[in-house]
Amino acid sequence: MNGNRLTWIRGLVMGLLLALGGVAAHGAAAQSDPADAAGAFTPAPCMFEGIDLGLGTLDGAALGFECGYVVVPLRHSAPDGATIRLPVAIRRAPGGAADPLLLAQGGPGGDAFEVFSLLVPNTPIAATRDIVIFNQRGTPYAEPALTCPETDAALADILAADAEEGERLYDEALAACHDRLLREGIDLSAFNSLENAADVPLIAQALGYDEYNFYGVSYGTLLGLHLMRLHPEGLRSVILDSVAPTDINFITQASASETRVFAEVFAACAADAACNTAYPDLEARLVALVRQYDDTPVSLTLTDPETGQEYDTTLDGRGLRSVLHQLLYVPRMAAVLPRLISDIEAGDLRYLEAMWPLLVFDQLVAEGMYYSVVCAEDADIDVAAVPLDGLRPDIAATTADELRTIVDTCTRWQVQALPASVDDPVVSDIPTLLLSGRFDPITPPAFAEAAAAGLSQATNLVDPTAAHGVAFQSECVNSIIVDFLANPQATPDSSCLAAGEPLAFVPPGAVTLPLLAEVNQLKPRVLAVFGAAALLLLVVLSPFVVWPIAYIVRAFGERRVERTAEDRRARRLSQGLLLAFGALAFVFGVGLLFFIIRTITDLTMATALALPASAAPLLWLPLVLLLLLVGAVVTLVLLWRRPGSGSTLGKVYHTLVALCAVALLVLIAAEGLLLPPL
């Protein structure tokens, strides 16, 4: 697949799936005044962008955060040497709390602010203690940030190229990023997990906390385990979500994890009577699709969700499998996958074209940080020794190439390897809550079991419906976290996990609506479209008030205009067509809004970008509206040609309503809603 490697790398870095932005890198600053001393905190406006709602931005301040930077040593072995700055955001609990919860994102290289600043404030966790979100060294908004705009600049060429040429272009862009970082004076070997872990207690101390709780997701759990082993002072409790143990190389296990998660999805569907009836033999069908796409790749157009720019690319079998695997990071995607496979078999690729860009155009992944960490800690891979037994054949066929890609890249990245002791299991008595999702595509529950073996006060839980990133996704898990933080020494009540609703698979009759992707993300463009449609609809509905009033005025007026029966019939026909258009447009608008609200409150259907099957009849209305509008416009032209069919002012108003009806239908067509679903 064109751009397959870029998608694969960025997919590994996704702790949680959200569209992100980018920042520039800066060189490491030398200590020069007290504000630059290690351990200093400097307040600053919130650096992360928040959500643009069109009429205003829901930024950090609006979400209740205080922001700033904490200075830490570039090398903790040289505390008086060069320093770097880490961005932090603090949301105070209403009553205050002695021990905050520090939140670390995954990756390595992911942005914590764009995820946690939106998820956590709406949970009961934020009501009980201070929340501290920080971006790790080298990640976006940190100074320096090891982002690679070179790979983003090459993206169009990578997507348009064939697989071999795409690999070459990506390698060239990554090499350019590496060389630029070195020219800027960046010590890439200082951006590793050990230095990263040593930053965390300094952040807590700089903010005035003697004791704190730590939450990490994905790579953040590996960071947390290093923290528990090397810097346990002041660490009250730890939550490890989607666990990456120190003694398991997640990269060498990536193919096994991929095989496992597809098998889990297929088994869950087979165990569900309705799903098994609707989508039988899923594994064989996916394998057949991979072969089909390898033989005959398909062309796709991907749209950058931030810029709106379109990119042409092709999708082969290996790429299809890779994209489906990466999509399983998204919550509830396991419930969507059977329907998605069925749609792809039918040639319906709208869902892929809507969702794949969220992987490809994820620009706030600091790829320089990713490679600096991975190459220092996990690049000691003997490709020939990685077992292929138990892997699905199509996955096994690509495993060696993918691992060699990492090894070759790390050979060029040139960072100092960490000591072998970093791979030792962590032994600790710090109270720890470990969370896993049954459908996690990269850190399976077995990883948490391995990590828990050395933790004497560990509670290890598996959410039977979750994917990657279990916390902050449901009331059940949030209540478990609240209980754990209130008393880490006690086992939290997790009975809600077993009592929860099983995974509800998307039925075959659900109606895919790509527009929901923008609705889910609160894109300003789609909000503007809905606003414009509402205004146009008000004008189109105005004849229900204006024309009856005009009729009464004419009926009781002193001077009545005599018209022929033919003129009256022509006017009434034209008015009737516009009134019918307005009534049905109102039904369509209200009905569509009802189904959209119903969908976005259902996490599975929102993930599927689909309306329920009961919405299908509603989506035929735009075609009826088109027929009515054609008739209304034709009769309006005839009215203008008949002098006795009405006053000039009445015809001007009539024309205005018709033009607004045309504009409304154009908006409906622009959103892909004019033709009914097939």
Q: DSSP secondary structure string, 362-416? A: -TT--HHHHHHHHHHHT----GGGS--TTS-HHHHHHHHHHHHHHHHHHHHH--P
β-partners of residue 611 are 511
Q: Which of 469, 499, 529 is the last residue of a domain?
A: 499
Same domain flag for 487 and 553: no
β-partners of residue 131 are 91, 101
**Residue 587 forms part of a structural domain:** yes
Same domain flag for 522 and 495: no
**Residue 677, pLDDT score:** 74
**Residue 450, pLDDT score:** 98
- Rounded Cα distance between 18 and 357, Å, is 11
Domain span at residue 662?
511-670
**Residue 140 forms part of a structural domain:** yes
- Residue 368 and residue 138 in contact, taking contact as beta carbons nearer than 8 Å: yes
Same domain flag for 452 and 549: no
**Residue 247, pLDDT score:** 97
Same domain flag for 20 and 115: yes
Same domain flag for 584 and 647: yes
Q: Are strands 101-104 and 131-134 parallel, antiparallel or unpaired?
A: parallel
Structure tokens at 149: 């705009």
Domain at 58, CATH number = 3.40.50.1820
- Residue 293 and residue 320 in contact, taking contact as beta carbons nearer than 8 Å: yes
**Residue 61 forms part of a structural domain:** yes
**Residue 275 forms part of a structural domain:** yes
Same domain flag for 532 and 664: yes
Is cis: bond before 34, omega within 30 of 0?
Answer: no
**Residue 640, pLDDT score:** 86
Residue with tokens 């990245």, as numbered in its chain: 413
**Residue 527, pLDDT score:** 83
- Residue 159 and residue 302 in contact, taking contact as beta carbons nearer than 8 Å: yes
**Residue 273, pLDDT score:** 96
Residue with tokens 């872990």, as numbered in its chain: 197
**Residue 40, pLDDT score:** 94
Same domain flag for 230 and 260: no
- Rounded Cα distance between 165 and 160, Å, is 9
Same domain flag for 565 and 434: no
Q: What are phi and psi of 29, to 5 degrees?
A: -90, 135
Count of domains in the chain? 3
**Residue 180 forms part of a structural domain:** no
**Residue 169 forms part of a structural domain:** no
Q: Does the pTM exceed 0.75?
A: yes
**Residue 376 forms part of a structural domain:** no
**Residue 566 forms part of a structural domain:** yes
- Rounded Cα distance between 53 and 522, Å, is 7
Same domain flag for 267 and 305: yes
**Residue 19, pLDDT score:** 29
Burial class (CB in 10 A: 0-12, 13-18, 19+), 673: buried
- Rounded Cα distance between 170 and 161, Å, is 11
**Residue 528, pLDDT score:** 87
Residue segments in the chain with a per-residue pLDDT below the cut of 70:
1-35, 51-57, 96-97, 557-563, 644-646, 678
Which string of DSSP letters, residue by residue, matches 565-610?
A: HHHHHHHHHHHHHHHHHHHHHHHHHHHHHHHHHHHHTSHHHHHHTE
State how far the alpha carbon of 412 is from the alpha carbons of 142, 194, 375, 381, 415, in Å: 24, 22, 10, 15, 9
**Residue 291, pLDDT score:** 97
Same domain flag for 467 and 615: no
Same domain flag for 331 and 433: no
3-state helix, strand, coil in the chain (%, to 5): 55, 10, 35
- Residue 6 and residue 174 in contact, taking contact as beta carbons nearer than 8 Å: no
Same domain flag for 81 and 116: yes
